[in-house]
Amino acid sequence: MAKKIIKKSNLNNETDELLKFVIEKLELIDKKIDRKPDRIELVHLENGINRKMNMAIADLKDEMLTHIDGLANKIDEYQTEQAMIMSQLGRHENWHYKVAAKVGVDLLSE
């Protein structure tokens, strides 16, 4: 079995070639990074952003409508309860007047 003898000059040539290859690849990557996006990419990006914003706005709208509906229900319940309380208060007031008339007490109504 013969050993491959690597001379210092061969090693330098191989590393130089490898170094040139790596530098070329890095320069290509730099060009891709530094290039300005073209019109199609910008339109695609804008459409994606608009789509996400529209979805977020729709979600917020649904959430707000749910909360507004809940508030409307609470207001309706409150108004119903207030009407029942006023009705009950009116009945109690009438009972007081009836009892006061039977007992012979004159209630002052102001």
Mean pLDDT by 10 residues, the chain (110 residues): 49 75 84 73 84 93 95 96 96 91 79
Is residue 65 included in any domain, yes or no? yes
Is residue 93 included in any domain, yes or no? yes
Is residue 85 included in any domain, yes or no? yes
Is residue 4 included in any domain, yes or no? no
Tell me the residue length of the chain: 110
Is residue 24 included in any domain, yes or no? no
Report the sign of the C-alpha dihedral through residues 58, 61, 66, 69, in that order: negative
> Shortest CA distance to 93 belongs to which of 81, 101, 104?
101
Q: What is the extent of the structural domain holding 89?
A: 37-99
The residues, ordered by sequence, that sit 6+ positions from 100 with a Cβ below 8 Å of its Cβ are 106, 107
Q: Rounded to whole angstroms, how far apart are CA atoms 56 and 97?
A: 61
Is the pTM higher than 0.85?
A: no
Strand blocks (E) in 1-110: none
Q: Could you give the number of structural domains in the chain?
A: 1
